[in-house]
Each structure stands twice: as structure tokens, then as C-alpha cells.
Structure 1
Amino acid sequence: MTRLTMRKIRLSLRLHASGLSTRKIAESLGVEQSTTCDYLKQIERAGLRWPLAAEMTDAALEALLFHPTGQDGCR
């Protein structure tokens, strides 16, 4: 999956809340529709809604969406 900037993730959340289709959101962001769909699913799993809380920093948003899976990859 293409990694989006936090700015684009916030924009996708706002556009989705305003009722735009994933196709239109993808066009607005300049990404594939599948990427948009994947991010919207992650946003939903994280329980995020627009508008985001004022104290939601980019770092906090990133931590919610891309939290570690608990595996460090070392064997």
C-alpha cells in the first residue's frame, strides 16, 4: 500500500465524512482507489471520525493507524 502523508489521511477522512465516494477521494488525493479504500478501512478500525479532536497530532494519528503489530521481526 502506498504510504500517504498525514495531511492526505486527514483530507481523506474529511472528504469521506462529507459523503464523497472512494473514487472521488482517490482522484482528489492522486492515488489509486484501492489505496483510498485501504486507508478508510484502517481509519474505521481505529475508530476515528471527522472532525478529529483538536489535540490529535500527526504523531498520535500515525500511532493509531500504524501501531506496531507486536512483532519486532527478529528471530
Structure 2
Amino acid sequence: MNPADSVVAGSISKSFTALAVMQLVEAGTVDLDTELSQYLDGFSGRRTSPTKPTESIWTSARLTASSSFDPA
């Protein structure tokens, strides 16, 4: 393996991200009931779903992959 080689992490990164977020919750730094836009500068924090276009994306929704966020 070389430094230029890529490694496909797949969905395993979701577990590490969730663990890190929950550690921040435990430390009192992050609140699961807060809009995600409070933690990400430049992020609108709105759903891209045509059925719920004005609904906010909460931090807890990103941990369950249920925010309807379309990264494209």
C-alpha cells in the first residue's frame, strides 16, 4: 500500500462519527435537539425533500440517516 492509494471505508465511518458526536453530547458540547446549522458554518440546515422543504435538520436526525439531506 502506498500513501497515494485510496481505501474504501464504506459505512464504517458512520459508526465512528456517531461515537464522536455522542462523546460531544456527553461532554455537553453538542445538543441532539439543536439544528445542525448551529454547528456547521454556511450550512442552511433545511431539508431538500420536496414534501418537507422548510423543515430543519436536527443533529439527532443525522445520526439516524433520516434527514433527507441531498449532498449533491
Query: Same fold judged by TM-score > 0.5?
Result: no
More helix by percentage: 1
Q: Pick the structure with greater CA Rg.
A: 2
